[in-house]
Amino acid sequence: MKQTERDRLILELAEKYNNPAYFINDPVIFPQHFFHLFLKGEAQLPDVEIAGIIASHLAWGRREMIVRDCNRAMEVMGWKPFDYVMNGCYKECNESLHRTIKWSDFAKICSNLKNYYSQFDTLEIADASTIRTEIFGQKSDQRAANKKIHMFFRWMVRNDGKVDLGIWKKKNPSELIIPLDVHVHRSALELGITKRKSADFATAIEITEYLLKLFPDDPCKGDFALFAHAVSNVKINR
């Protein structure tokens, strides 16, 4: 595929799919809900952040299942995520919350969040490694793409007033890294953006660097295009 044709396609898809109409049934609706309450003075910043952390952690599989199980988590929290986390009394059992994620896993994340918010006011100062190890409780892995974490960052930082919230002001959208899931990786391979077969951090950086050329101030706008290309069967001439 010619570079100009590919670039034009990415630009067109990004403009089309960076639209709330395509995200009515998407995990981003949960931090969005608390963001709108925050703007009215009816929620705190940690409510938005915790909803984003939980929703991003469950963002694995079919959207319908993700949204269903995010709803289950929010209902257990009484739709007051910060109060629930800081109260310290969590639903903890080996039953499934979402796929292989158990309620005990959810409880551990809540406990980690309580420890974090006992020291800091916001997750904005935390980097991907901190969230991976201290919030999600995973082992450090410099090669990991950390798709869920970078999607969470995209929600919090991008500030064009469409899908993402832009509630964090200290981070710049130009510094974001593409959330590299199977769909984005497949699109990047098909479009010739990368030849790397491994969906790791190095691949995420390579794709992000390409997107920076098209969106110098906002590389993750290209996330909408690459995801849409994978799931909407957009065909291109080769």
Residue 112 has a pLDDT of 98
Residue 60 has a pLDDT of 92
Residue 233 has a pLDDT of 57
Residue 238 has a pLDDT of 25
- 3-state DSSP helix/strand/coil % of the chain, to nearest 5: 60, 0, 40
Query: Could you list the pLDDT tens digit for every one of the 238 residues in the chain?
Result: 566 899 999 999 999 999 999 999 999 999 999 999 999 999 999 999 999 999 999 999 999 999 999 999 999 999 999 999 999 999 999 999 999 999 999 999 999 999 999 999 999 999 999 999 999 999 999 999 999 999 999 999 999 999 999 999 999 999 999 999 999 999 999 999 999 999 999 999 999 999 999 999 999 999 999 999 988 755 433 2
pTM value > 0.75: yes
Residue 146 has a pLDDT of 98
Q: What secondary structure does DSSP assign to 35-100, as a single string?
A: HHHHHTTSS-HHHHHHHHHHHHHT--S-HHHHHHHHHHHHHHTTT-HHHHHHH------SSEEETT
Residue 74 has a pLDDT of 98
Q: Could you give the CA distance from residue 53 to residue 85 in angstroms, rounded to a whole number? A: 12
* Residue 197: C-alpha distances to residues 96, 110, 183, 187 (Å): 31, 34, 13, 12
